[in-house]
Amino acid sequence: MPSTILKSAAKTTPIWFVTKDSWRKVRAGLPRTAAAFAEANGFEPGPGRLAILPDASGAIESVLFGVAPEGARHIDQFAPGRLASLLPEGAYRFANDPPGGKNALETATLAWALSAYRFARYRPSTAKWPRLVAPDGVDAARVERMAEGHALARDLVNTPANDMGPNALEAAATDFARRHRATHKVTRGQALLKGNFPLIHAVGKAASEEPRLFDMSWGPAKAPRITLVGKGVCFDTGGLDIKPSSAMLLMKKDMAGAATALALAHMIIDAKLPVRLRVLLPIVENSIAGAAFRPGDIYPSRKGLSVEIGNTDAEGRLILADALALADEEEPELLLDFATLTGAARVALGPDLPPFYTMDDALAEDIAKTGMTANDPVWRLPLWEPYDQLLDGKISTINNVSSGPFAGSITAALFLRRFVEKSRCWVHFDIYGWNPSTKPGRPEGGETQTARLLYTLIEKRYARK
């Protein structure tokens, strides 16, 4: 969809953020007709309240939008995003700063851009959107690249599996690499076995479209190495341990990890950050057929560990294991993986707060703080060492599920940790990749979690001074 953020406009309508404390001052500065209209309609500046005020001719003179006051227990910094879907067509500007600290103005601008997203592949929209002139001091290009990354990932996740199977996801990733002038290669089907990716092959071999590994590189060879690994399960039936029908309804989103990796890659590349970026996407469909892998099967892995299949519905960690082992061989400075991996993460933290895991305490603190600053929150959960033994295999090195029903997200992270040894810093994000309902900046449907916070963190660490 076209951008809703403008660099400038000949004529703009002011939007005033108002609280109970600031309303008197804002009202005093309004033209007489607009102020009288607000009074006559009983405008009260509670959070989310909207008033569109006319001038003497009936044209829109200004807009009032109620927000939580500074110091409130919770301030939704994306609340101004509601305006992108509530206001009529036209050019607008923020007349004052919203509460929420020094980043609030950029966050409000980003919320506007994110709220304007619509998935129109199957039901084209002719709606005309209001547009916002980027406020002074806000980096409009930065806001745009984050919004573009979100739109890319949301489109991929929202597309149903009949149009976003392994072939289509590979095509989207290949198009991405070509547009960004990145090198890439793809290993498919039987070539996965020759290339020593047996777990990726095992998970996807029953599907009508071959399993594959997409491998992309961008940036100077001698720059700091950052590798992104994204789970690309285009649809997950659960395999022979089949899911109930209700659990399959959203399984088109099981490739949200791959979509997130591409979204973050777009932000990094568009910003021309001085890093050597690698993106690895193991892409499969977990289907049921005569060739499907079975509970109790044992497969080798790229790492050399033998893996017993305790449950075929724990397939995401299997394909990630081979991809992580490949990434680890290059000893990147920062290795990040993204996966819609466990329902246990949602039980613990819900859909809006992805857990993350790392052995680096300093990095974990930086990630948590940056997530709050970027309004892209995450929560650290522990790689609890005593639980690691729950994964020990009886006739194999490791089982892909634990021997008990507890701590499912933690044991999944511990499984992945077995395949990372050399990387300086590794972080695993157990994302949901979906908004169950529409909120400001977060329309219902596919979502891009953790990409903004990691772009902000990488930008801070590696951007040219």
Q: The pTM is what? A: 0.97
Exactly one of 27, 93, 118, 243 is catalytic; name it: 243
CA distance 277 to 284: 23
Per-residue pLDDT tens over the stretch 192-225: 999 999 999 999 999 999 999 999 999 999 999 9
Question: Mean pLDDT lowest for which of 17-26, 118-127, 341-350, 417-426?
Answer: 118-127
Catalytic one of 317, 346, 418, 442:
317
Q: What residues are paired with 434 via a beta bridge?
A: 446
pLDDT of residue 127: 79
Burial class, 96, CB count within 10 angstroms (exposed 0-12 / middle 13-18 / buried 19+): middle
Q: Is the pLDDT of residue 288 over 90?
A: yes
**Which contacts (CB < 8 Å, 24+ apart) does range 101-108 have?**
103/77, 103/373, 103/374, 104/77, 105/135, 105/137, 105/138, 106/138, 106/139, 106/142, 106/143, 107/77, 107/78, 107/374, 107/375, 108/77, 108/78, 108/80, 108/81
- Give the count of beta carbons closer than 10 Å to the beta carbon of residue 14: 17
User: What is the average pLDDT across 69-76?
Assistant: 82
158-196 per-position pLDDT tens digit: 999 999 999 999 999 999 999 999 999 999 999 999 999
Does residue 317 carry a catalytic annotation?
A: yes
Beta-strand relationship, 60-66 and 50-54? antiparallel
pLDDT at site 1:
56
pLDDT tens for 365-395 read 999 999 999 999 999 999 999 999 999 999 9
pLDDT of residue 99: 84
Output the pLDDT for position 2: 65
Say what the pLDDT of residue 403 is.
Answer: 86
Q: What are the boundaries of each domain within the chain?
A: 5-135, 144-462
Class of domain 5-135: alpha beta
Q: What is the rounded radius of gyration, in angstroms, for the C-alpha atoms of the chain?
A: 24
Strands of the 130-133 sheet, one edge to the other? 5-6, 130-133, 90-94, 13-18, 60-66, 50-54
**What stretches of 203-274 adopt beta strand conformation (E)?**
212-218, 225-230, 232-236
pLDDT in tens, 8-25: 889 999 999 999 999 999
**pLDDT over threshold 80, residue 71:** no
For 408, the token pair is: 């499912």
Percent of the chain at pLDDT > 70 equals 99
pLDDT in tens, 82-97: 999 999 999 999 999 9
pLDDT at position 465: 46
Is 213 strand, coil or helix? Answer: strand
Least confident of 5-19, 70-84, 193-207, 245-259: 70-84
Which amino acid makes up residue 306? Answer: S
- Annotated active-site residue 231? The verdict is no
268 pLDDT band (50/70/90 cuts)?
very high
Report the pLDDT averaged over residues 400-407: 94
Token couple for 144 = 């745009």
The contacts of residue 162 (CB under 8 Å, 6+ apart) are: none
101: confidence class by pLDDT, cuts 50, 70, 90 = confident
Measured between alpha carbons, how far is residue 2 from residues 5, 143, 260, 328 in Å?
9, 14, 21, 39
Q: Which band of pLDDT confidence, cut at 50, 70 and 90, is reported for residue 287? A: very high
Q: What is the DSSP string of 329-354?
A: HT--SEEEEEE---HHHHHHH-SSS-
- pLDDT one-digit tens code per residue, 432-447: 999 999 999 999 999 9
CATH (one of 3.40.47.10, 3.10.20.30, 3.40.630.10, 3.20.20.105) for 144-462 = 3.40.630.10
What pLDDT, on the 0 to 100 scale, is given for residue 464? 61
d(CA 17, CA 28) in angstroms, rounded, equals 14
Q: Report d(CA 71, CA 465) in Å as an integer.
A: 33
